[in-house]
Amino acid sequence: MADKKRPNSSSSDKKSNKVPLAPPAPSKTPAPDEQADGSPKPTDTNADKSSKQSRNGNQAQAAKPDASVRTYNIPDYRLEKPEFRIFMSGEGSNVEYRIEGDLSAAAPPIRESKYLSREQSIEIYRWMLLNRRMEVALENLYKQGKVVGGVYFGLGQEGCSCASAYALGEDDWLGPMIRNQGAMLVRGFTAADIMRQYMAKGDSPTWGRDASSHFGDFQKRNVCAPISMLGELIGVMTGVCLGARLQGKNVAGLTYVGDGGQSTGVTYESLNFAAVQNLGLVLVVENNLWGYSTPADMQFRVKDLAERAIAYGIPGVIVDGTDPCQVYDATHEACERARRGEGPTMIEAKMMRMKGHAIHDAAQYVPAKLFEYWRERDPIARFEKYLVNEKKWLTAAENEKLIEGVERELEADRDAAVASPMPDPATDKTHQGVYCDPSCHEIKPKYGAVVAKLREGAGPTAVEAAVHLK
Ligand SMILES: Cc1ncc(C[n+]2csc(CCOP(=O)(O)OP(=O)(O)O)c2C)c(N)n1
Ligand SMILES: [Mg+2]
């Protein structure tokens, strides 16, 4: 996946937000119609007279309903549905990504939450601010040479990380990915913990043994450490839900996968298992339009990644990932479903990765107009406007005070993290606990004694055993 140069925008481009025409788009699965419930159950096309196109893209067939064609519905809660695509243009060293579509629309408002109170909304806003300020501080620490390794950012994705984690209950579990540092804050890690970890300090959560956000907490916060191999956390979180089920409790296990990572084999296997077992996996597919330097348009053929839920037989929903209210509502409903033992949910959160893959990547291959478009949809600026101007849940003075409070907390945490000692060779723990041994940590049931029951008639019989041995 080679980096591409930023295209030089032509003078006509500059005048209008309409971008140049591109070669014809490859055919994609048509968008499903909206409906209120997340059930992926097929509908009889005869009954679904409003259907404009059949799922196989055959318009003629859709116009004349055909009983042999089934349709599926994916609710889409977004208040705007941007239609543009990114394609590769040019040859050799002049290859660049260009964009086709209308980028002139004004940013949509925040959709009012069905569940969030004033206090909860302000709390999420505060987490989002802390998430962003912490990442700015991390970038500065990196530039000062204090960070060991790279820095990963969730710029533009704070609403998704923070509002989704906020929907978790105490007994639920979180499996964050590298861009979900906001989710880790919500789950109880401090900005100092995260900054110490990035600087590999001796008192960091892994005592300097690992970097970036690769740490978790099985004991108190129910957080599985991020796993670099894309999609693997889905299986782990499915296992967590199974473990809790065996202890007599249905929990929600929230994890994330990117638009790139969703195409891995392990994603399929784990989701299928969670679906079959009705386990409480809540999968947020963070469609931020890029996987490294590959645009989403070059990664999959479906129109919306939530459509893939149909193939697992689970509900799939689409939300605007820059709208914390939409993210919260969808995750809240998915968590409730999980706790009722009804199985997994897939939530596609559409947004934009507003920086490169990591600090080393200047993202020059991203068309500048795409950044401009999503900058207008900044989750923090829009949520702030919603809370202050629309809901009037915060006065301008209260908002200023809140921001100052976040800055003070962040500065104190940064100073404490910088002042922390590096691992001391004589006493450090970096070489300890690398391999698990009986003294390392005891794995105890969290919710109750494990009750493993054989399903009726499912016990191995002498005949079955013999068959297995063949
Ligand atoms: C199984 C696997 N394949 C490849 C990689 C290398 N890799 C790390 S991040 C990344 C891009 C991920 O893109 P996406 O899933 O869209 O997540 P984003 O970075 O946009 O949040 C790749 C290919 C990996 N870590 N794991
Ligand atoms: Mg991505």
Per residue in 184-229, pLDDT tens?
999 999 999 999 999 999 999 998 888 888 999 998 999 999 999 9
User: Is a pLDDT exceeding 50 seen at residue 337?
Assistant: yes
**pLDDT of 435 over the 50 cut:** yes
pLDDT of residue 461: 56
Give distance in angstroms: CA of 286 to centre of ligand 1. Answer: 12
> Ligand 1 in contact with 256 (CB < 6 A)?
no
Q: How far is CA 132 from the centre of its chain?
A: 16
**Of 86, 179, 230, best ligand 1 pocket probe by most atoms within 8 Å of the beta carbon:** 230
Higher pLDDT: 302 or 16? It is 302
**Which is higher by pLDDT, 287 or 67?**
287
Q: Is 228 in the pocket of ligand 1 (CB under 6 A)?
A: yes
Residue 265 is predicted with a pLDDT of 98
The verdict on the CB of residue 264 being under 6 Å from ligand 1 is: yes
Q: Is the pLDDT of residue 60 over 60?
A: no
Range with the poorest average pLDDT among 119-133, 362-376, 425-439: 425-439
Please say if the pLDDT value at position 51 is more than 50. no
Query: Ligand nearest 160 Cα, by number?
Result: 1
Sign of CA dihedral 153, 150, 177, 248: negative
Whether 369 shows a pLDDT value over 50: the answer reads: yes
Range of weakest confidence among 66-70, 76-80, 183-187 = 66-70
pLDDT for the residue 460: 55
Q: What average pLDDT does this structure show over 313-322?
A: 98
pLDDT, mean of residues 355-372? 97
For residue 28, report the distance from its CA to the centre of ligand 2, in Å.
19
317: which strand partners?
A: 347
Which H helix or E strand runs over 402? helix 396-419
Task: Report strand pairing: 70-71 vs 43-44.
Answer: antiparallel
For residue 279, report the distance from its CA to the centre of ligand 2, in Å. Answer: 26
Strands 173-175 and 253-258, sheet pairing: parallel
259 lines ligand 1 (CB under 6 A): yes
Gyration radius from the chain CA atoms: 24
d(CA 209, CA 423): 9
Query: Per-residue pLDDT tens for 86-97?
Result: 999 999 889 999
Residues with CB under 5 A from ligand 2 (ion): 258-259, 288, 291
pLDDT of residue 430: 66
Q: What is the mean pLDDT of the chain?
A: 86
User: Does ligand 1 have an atom closer than 6 angstroms to the CB of 230?
Assistant: yes
Output the pTM of the full model: 0.86
Query: Is a pLDDT exceeding 70 seen at residue 115?
Result: yes
Distance CA 335, CA 281 (A): 8
Q: For residues 301 and 316, give the distance between their C-alpha atoms in angstroms, rounded to a whole number.
A: 17
Residue 6's pLDDT is: 37
Atom 21 of ligand 1: nearest residue by CA position: 258
Q: How far is the CA of 347 from the centre of ligand 2 (A)?
A: 15
CB 171 within 8 A of CB 249: yes
Asked whether the predicted pLDDT for residue 127 surpasses 90, the reply is yes
Pairing of strands 281-287, 96-101: unpaired
pLDDT of residue 234: 98
Q: What's the helix, strand, coil split of the chain in %, to 5?
A: 35, 10, 55
